[in-house]
Amino acid sequence: MPSARPKILVIKLGALGDVVQVMGAAAAIRAHHRDAEITFLTTSPYADLARRAPYFDAVWIDGRPGWDDPAGWWRLARRLRRAGFTRVYDFQTRARTALYHLLMGRPEWSGTAPLASHPHDNPRRDRMHTLDRQAEQLHRAGLPGPVPLPELGWAAIEPPRFAPPREYVLLIPGGSPHRPQKRWPLAHYAALAGRIAAAGIVPVVIGAAAERPLGRAIAAAVREACDLTGRTELGDIVALARRARRTIGNDTGPMHLAVAAGSPATVLYSAASDPALTAPRGEDVVILQRADLADLEVAAVAATLGLG
């Protein structure tokens, strides 16, 4: 027999930082729709993370068919329509997901799709911090009360697969390869790692497989450094961040993971992005910004660790 539970769909397709930041809204949706069957629609890189979350009953992967793939669109439309979702919270809010509203036969919809039943039509929405925008969207959809900050303790791989033997600081020197202006210079990270090691603390470097040269370079410059680039899954990053003295890195998705895991953090911004719109929020998050990150002094970053 078909389920009598209300069926809710939450949409966030990417990127990593955006998926992390939607988890506070997901917690609020689960608290409000306690008896509902909630499905999360995302893309494949974030499906495993979402499956660990306590907010969803199911996780679907959106293959994002191209506009020249009518068969892919037909399969997607059939799956969405057959599911019988009674309400959708669209946090992607793009033309693609607005089209999903039509493909699904226009169920109750929270977002920016034309004719949405619960529109988020604040003309300043694109100038709001992501978390503030999501909270206002939920309030306009009838969800009372505050929306919590993202909290990802549930995502940690336990027991940790990587456990540095002493006190450590996580360093995240990478970021989008297409936006190198968002990266603090590698030489600065190596100099910072040297200061950390001199204080008797282990600098632990993490990053994607493509960022292994960054980890190798820092480890070559500072023999005490622990290079884990290319070896960590998202759950490993959460587990490491929970135990770190501090996490220091560029404006990149893993920094959102670290802050949501509870790590004190220092996030480095250039003029290429606006922390007022996207910065992770937590109990101890320091934002350092220079128009050109090459002008951000090592001493200023080290000071956030109390190293001077």
Examine the domain organization and report whether 194 and 104 are in the same domain.
no
What is the three-state SS of 274-300?
CHHHHCCCCCCEEEEECCCHHHCCHHH
Report the CATH number that the domain containing residue 85 is assigned in CATH.
Answer: 3.40.50.2000
Contact predicate 204/272, CB 8 Å: no
Examine the domain organization and report whether 177 and 283 are in the same domain.
yes
Flag whether 97 is in a domain. Answer: yes
Examine the domain organization and report whether 11 and 127 are in the same domain.
yes
Flag whether 2 is in a domain. Answer: no
Examine the domain organization and report whether 172 and 144 are in the same domain.
no
Flag whether 226 is in a domain. Answer: yes
Flag whether 91 is in a domain. Answer: yes
Examine the domain organization and report whether 46 and 141 are in the same domain.
yes
pLDDT at 2: 53
Host domain of residue 65: 7-151
Examine the domain organization and report whether 192 and 294 are in the same domain.
yes
Examine the domain organization and report whether 88 and 221 are in the same domain.
no
pLDDT in tens, the chain (308 residues): 455 789 999 999 989 999 999 999 999 999 999 999 999 999 999 999 999 999 999 999 999 999 899 999 999 999 999 999 999 999 999 999 999 999 999 999 999 999 999 999 999 999 999 999 999 999 999 999 899 999 999 999 988 999 777 899 999 999 988 899 999 999 999 999 999 999 999 999 999 999 999 999 999 999 999 999 999 999 999 999 999 999 999 999 999 999 999 999 999 999 999 999 999 999 999 999 999 999 999 999 999 999 86
Examine the domain organization and report whether 16 and 146 are in the same domain.
yes
pLDDT at 308: 65
Flag whether 115 is in a domain. Answer: yes
Token code pair at residue 25: 């809204």
pLDDT at 4: 78
Number of domains forming the structure of the chain: 2
Examine the domain organization and report whether 181 and 280 are in the same domain.
yes
Other C-beta atoms closer than 10 Å to the C-beta of 226 total 21
- How far apart CA 96 and CA 276 sit, in angstroms, is 26
Flag whether 24 is in a domain. Answer: yes
- Could you identify the residue written with the tokens 């169920």? 107
pLDDT at 134: 98
Examine the domain organization and report whether 124 and 218 are in the same domain.
no
Examine the domain organization and report whether 174 and 256 are in the same domain.
yes
Name the nearest CA neighbour of 183 among 220, 211, 204: 211
Sheet architecture: strand order including 226-227:
226-227, 202-205, 168-172, 246-250, 265-269, 285-289
Examine the domain organization and report whether 104 and 238 are in the same domain.
no
